[in-house]
Structure 1
Amino acid sequence: MSHMQSVDLQVPVPVPARDGEGQGWQLAASVYLPGDDALAHCPPVLVLFPGGGYNRRYFDLPVPGFSQAAHHASRGTVVVAIDHLGVGESSVPPMEVTTLAAVATASHSGVTAILEGLRRGTLAPDIRPVDVACVVGAGQSLGGHALAVMQADHRTFDGVAMLGSSMTGTAPPVRPGQPEMVPPDDATPEEAALFALANTDWTWVFHWEAITLADASRRPRDLASLVAADVADGLPGRRSAPPWGSLTYPGFGAVSMLPGVVAAEAARIDVPVLLATGERDVCRPLGEEIAAFGTATDIAVYVVPRMAHMHNFATTRALLWERLDEFVTHVARMTATNVTHAGPRARDVRRPDARDRRFGQSAR
């Protein structure tokens, strides 16, 4: 049996003239290809975007059984995980630069370049050309907000999955027995969002399992030590970061908790949508969330039991991954029969400069 192959990339993306000051921007990405025995002739591609305080390694956690990327790749899907502009190993411009629109535009450019590299076989020296069946985007939490803007403005994907990401307004739950968070009567929406940010028990919101004492300085070896390392130096703002964490946020993180921050964009998404949340998560009532996708060609909802907001740490994480597998298969089938709206997503859109595109890369 052949093993999954992965390659780390630095993908050049355009810099607006007013922001560039002669400097180039790059997005850090990891591409996970199924082994030859699992790689179909025409596989789907799943592009993953992390939430606030996390980088793309959240999708490849360093404990056996906790890698979402490996799970999907073992089922024949090519997986791409991307650090947003301003996050992780991507370029980190000033926070006023990394608005939702700027981050979405950079990510669209990065995804387009990676797809070209896959199709042409130029992604890395030992990766052969891949004929792509469909392209699905999935964003966790803050990553879902960026994904909504990408899809509304650029139509990057054939289907989108919002994972613990509210389109109507982030609503952190309150631990049972604790008083409701009520901001001052005269608080502005921005002040109310900051009040919620400062008064939420984020460890309880992020992790379903009770936190046990573990040595966070050692390499994680199981769920307890993985969670201990995740919470050791603060959530959601970190004083130091584990390998899957990020000390930096994109600038739009400051407004991501405002009501309706991406409601207009969600209403313009006209492809299949999967809305998945944990049993304990930050989405509003599902009726409100579903109504946000007024032009989606179809919409599916899944609430994963015994799962908190940071899904990949849950003991039930495989249920979510398997539901996402089913969604990817569904989108591929619809794309093959031309049910989804035609666009630049899974189709081979060749540009004059495509042959000249270069990636910085390292195999793992």
Structure 2
Amino acid sequence: MPPLLIRFDVTNALSAEVSAGQRLYVSAWLFMPAHLPSRPTISAWLNGGTYDKRYFHAEIPGYPGYSMAEHLAARGHIVVLPDHLGIGDSSRAPRQMAVTRQVAAKANHDAMTQLFAHLREGTLHPSIPAIPQFVKLGGGHSMGGMQTITQQAAHRTYDRIAVLGYTAVGVHLTLGGQLHSADPGPLDLSKPDYPVMDRGHLRSTFHWDDVPEAVLTADDALLVPVPYVLSTQAITTGIVSEDARNIDVPIYQCLGERDVSPDPWAEAAHFRACYDYTLHVLPKSGHCQNFASTRTEMWDRIYTWNESLNASNGTA
């Protein structure tokens, strides 16, 4: 069945500088499983830069099986795909430059807090019963990985997190077969809120060589405007170093065989408070694991990793 579009008013969680007298909303797609487990996992996934929530639910004519959301929902997850504030169906702030990673994280935390309350009370939608107990899993890809780290460190929204295609070491791009730092330097607030973006030069970073041309074309069609501040912060070296050190819940981190981390095996050292860290390097995958031929390996690993934590905690 198609996802349910939901939205949450997050104005009261934000400063007057950000809202400037307007109501601001975080919108999301919700995917419900056909059969609801007694204690389901609610997994929320934040997209990366140049994408909206469709990154996790790509529908490509003639090429089924590119929806991570449908894959996890089929295995019992309640899947939530929020749009960052300023992207997709979520509100654009009157002055988007004021929406830093911390502001966007606060807005998303408020939206998820409202979602959890509605699910417990059975007030989200007439077709969804009250769900008094659930596991909270939050994750994100690329810029969404940055936002997941930022949000969890500041607000402890989730019981566990998944960081996909993002690096605490420092974002690097594969250009001409070589890794190059993507660090843009300090923010330049004279830039437009939404600069024109072209990711044509990023194909060698984003995708493995075996991705079908039709899938690459469909991926290109998913390009959306991204706020300057969020997109720039996402590639700034060291931006999440302090946040990463403060996360103490289990972490699953997946990087493609060719991805933005210059050293995947150095990532764990940044999560020093984490007592349960898992690194998964996905073979034959570029930065965008959801378009890789091996994508279901990651999706299934997320499911089994989450289930193993439930079993060890006695919540399976």
TM norm structure 1 = 0.77
> Displacement, 1:199?
11
> Displacement, 1:245?
3.6
Indicate the SS of the match to 1:42.
coil
Give the equivalent residue in structure 2 for 1:359: none
> Displacement, 1:200?
9.2
Give RMSD over aligned pairs: 2.4
Give the equivalent residue in structure 2 for 1:346: none
| Greater Rg by CA | 1
Counterparts in 2 of 1:61-210, with a 5 A limit?
61-63=58-60, 64-93=64-93, 94-176=95-177, 181=180, 189-190=185-186, 201-209=201-209
Indicate the SS of the match to 2:247.
coil
- For the 8 Å contact 2:97–2:227, the answer to whether it is kept is no
Deviates more, 1:326-335 or 1:85-94: 326-335
Counterparts in 2 of 1:54-65, with a 5 A limit?
54-63=51-60, 64-65=64-65
* Residue 215 (structure 2) pairs with residue 226 (structure 1): yes
- For the 8 Å contact 1:181–1:199, the answer to whether it is kept is no
> Displacement, 1:10?
1.6
Give the equivalent residue in structure 2 for 1:313: 291
State the aligned residue count.
Answer: 300
Map Cα deviations across residues 88-128 of structure 1 (whole Å, 9 max, x no partner): 11111123111011001001001111111111111112111
* Residue 34 (structure 2) pairs with residue 35 (structure 1): yes
> Displacement, 1:334?
4.6
Structure 2 unaligned segments of length 5 or more: list them: 188-196
* Residue 266 (structure 2) pairs with residue 266 (structure 1): no
Tell me: CA distance 1:146–1:250, structure 2 relative to 1, closer, same or farther (3 Å): farther
Instruction: Supply the distance in 1 between the matched residues of 2:120 and 2:229 (Cα, whole angstroms).
Output: 33
* Residue 280 (structure 2) pairs with residue 302 (structure 1): yes
Tell me: CA distance 1:41–1:259, structure 2 relative to 1, closer, same or farther (3 Å): same
Instruction: Supply the distance in 1 between the matched residues of 2:305 and 2:72 (Cα, whole angstroms).
Output: 12
Structure 1 unaligned segments of length 5 or more: list them: 192-196, 212-222, 232-241, 338-364
Instruction: Supply the distance in 2 between the matched residues of 1:260 and 1:153 (Cα, whole angstroms).
Output: 17
Instruction: Supply the distance in 1 between the matched residues of 2:293 and 2:241 (Cα, whole angstroms).
Output: 31
* Residue 11 (structure 2) pairs with residue 22 (structure 1): no
The letter for the 2-side match of 1:170 is V
User: Structure 1 segments of 4 or more deviating over 4 A?
Assistant: 180-183, 197-200, 334-337
The letter for the 2-side match of 1:202 is L
Give the equivalent residue in structure 2 for 1:290: 268
The letter for the 2-side match of 1:262 is V
> Displacement, 1:134?
0.9
TM norm structure 2 = 0.88
Instruction: Supply the distance in 2 between the matched residues of 1:267 and 1:46 (Cα, whole angstroms).
Output: 23
Tell me: CA distance 1:188–1:170, structure 2 relative to 1, closer, same or farther (3 Å): closer
- For the 8 Å contact 2:173–2:181, the answer to whether it is kept is no
Instruction: Supply the distance in 2 between the matched residues of 1:280 and 1:271 (Cα, whole angstroms).
Output: 27
Instruction: Supply the distance in 1 between the matched residues of 2:283 and 2:266 (Cα, whole angstroms).
Output: 20
> Displacement, 1:198?
9.5
Instruction: Supply the distance in 1 between the matched residues of 2:181 and 2:119 (Cα, whole angstroms).
Output: 50
